[in-house]
Amino acid sequence: MKKALWVGACLALVAAAWPSPNYVYRGWWASYGYIGGLSVATNGNVYQTSFNNHIVIYFNSTGSRIGSWGSYGNGQGQFSQPAGVDVSPNNWVYVADFSNHRVQYFTRTGSFLDMWGSYGSGPGSFNMPGDVQVGANNWVYVVERGNHRVQRFTSTGSYLGSFNGTFYMPDGVGIAANYNVYVTDRGNSRIQYFTSTGSPLGSWGSNGAGPGQFIRPIGNEVSNGGFVFVADSGNNRVQYFRLNGSYLDTLSGATIVTPIDVAISNNDRWLYVGSDGNSRIIYFTHTNTAVAPASLGKVKALFR
């Protein structure tokens, strides 16, 4: 077989190894107050910010509470309406501290590490940061509802750049395995996506209740398998798409009311929905337990 055919076969094997987005409802547990955001650590623990209780809580994969940290205020480790949360590949927990206009980060058990940002519109300043997401390259992306933009930082908060895709009240950000950035453009009822440095690649969505339409979309999450899940809060559902925006389906089997965020485990096995309208974290598991390949480069190496 020619090398090109071998590579084609390799790509087919990669696609087959990743689970398709076929999730089955398994259960739920009660959230602690209003849900600000969700994330899953590499060990499978689930992190939730409580927007009105000003804390971060973490659970095991089926909802047993392990611990929490935080209180109301503007000191180190304190919050004022914490919103988005993300656990980085090195297990630092980043929190978008919405009304303190900053980002704080911690160890995965809640020990304070550092923070950056203050109110403003200049580089490194924030106006109502609604979500934070860390890519595989450890770049940290922060979406600001008030400044209608996305800023990009190193893992310790050094400013790298910003971009504005004509957003109106953007409220969520997800990072694909190829480093492309997906932004929930809440006020415009759409998803916009970009290269890692902010060059526009495309968009989809409009205001409405049909497939591929949204009403007040908030969080989004991109699975390692290459599917974009969107918390369509005004339509009380989670829709999912291919990376280019092609509509695939809507999660079913559970009552979802005003979803705020979606979080997926690293192996794509577990999917969590922050269902704020009925104060639940709802979880689904994938029916296919196939293990995803570590990297395309390793598979390609087999055919050299």
93-121 pLDDT, tens per residue? 999 999 999 999 999 999 999 999 999 99
User: Vertex 121, ends 134 and 183: CA angle to 5°?
Assistant: 35
| Judgement on whether residues 304 and 189 belong to the same structural domain of the protein | no
| Judgement on whether residues 175 and 229 belong to the same structural domain of the protein | yes
Count: domains in the chain: 2
Q: What is the pLDDT of residues 118-134, one digit of tens each?
A: 999 999 999 999 999 99
Q: What is the pLDDT of residues 12-68, one digit of tens each?
A: 444 444 556 799 999 999 999 999 999 999 999 999 999 999 999 999 999 999 999
Q: How many CA atoms lie within 13 A of 211 on its CB side?
A: 9
Residue with tokens 């923070």: 115
| Judgement on whether residues 205 and 151 belong to the same structural domain of the protein | yes
Q: Are 126 and 173 in contact (CB under 8 A)?
A: no
Q: Are 199 and 189 in contact (CB under 8 A)?
A: no
**Residue 82 binned pLDDT confidence (cut-offs 50, 70, 90):** very high
Predicted structure pTM score: 0.90
User: To the nearest whole number, what is the mean pLDDT of the chain?
Assistant: 91
Residue with tokens 């656990």: 87
Per-residue confidence (pLDDT) for residue 54, from 0 to 100: 98
Assess whether pLDDT exceeds 60 at residue 70: yes
| Judgement on whether residues 77 and 207 belong to the same structural domain of the protein | yes
Could you list the residue range(s) of the whole structural domain that residue 144 is in? 20-288
CA distance to 65, 179, 207, per residue, from 193 (Å)? 35, 11, 18
Assess whether pLDDT exceeds 50 at residue 269: yes
Tell me what the mean pLDDT of segment 63-75 comes to: 98
| Percent of the chain residues topping a pLDDT of 70 | 88
Residues 209-213: contacts with CB under 8 Å, at least 24 apart: 209/235, 211/239, 211/247, 211/250, 212/239, 212/241, 212/245, 212/247, 213/189
Assess whether pLDDT exceeds 90 at residue 10: no
Q: What is the pLDDT of residues 140-160, one digit of tens each?
A: 999 999 999 999 999 999 999
CA-nearest of 2, 86, 102, 97 to 46 is 86
Per-residue confidence (pLDDT) for residue 287, from 0 to 100: 82
| Judgement on whether residues 186 and 298 belong to the same structural domain of the protein | no
Residues 197-200: contacts with CB under 8 Å, at least 24 apart: 197/152, 197/161, 197/163, 198/150, 198/152, 198/161, 198/162, 198/163, 198/165, 200/165
| Judgement on whether residues 68 and 159 belong to the same structural domain of the protein | yes
Per-residue confidence (pLDDT) for residue 18, from 0 to 100: 54
| Judgement on whether residues 88 and 195 belong to the same structural domain of the protein | yes
Per-residue confidence (pLDDT) for residue 145, from 0 to 100: 97
CA-nearest of 166, 211, 198, 160 to 185 is 166
Per-residue confidence (pLDDT) for residue 19, from 0 to 100: 55
| Percent of the chain residues topping a pLDDT of 90 | 86
| Judgement on whether residues 167 and 251 belong to the same structural domain of the protein | yes
Q: What is the CATH number of the domain that holds 181?
A: 2.120.10.30
Q: What tokens does 146 get?
A: 């008030």
| Judgement on whether residues 197 and 300 belong to the same structural domain of the protein | no
| Judgement on whether residues 105 and 15 belong to the same structural domain of the protein | no
Q: How far apart are CA 277 and CA 106, in angstroms?
A: 29
| Judgement on whether residues 123 and 184 belong to the same structural domain of the protein | yes
| Judgement on whether residues 12 and 25 belong to the same structural domain of the protein | no
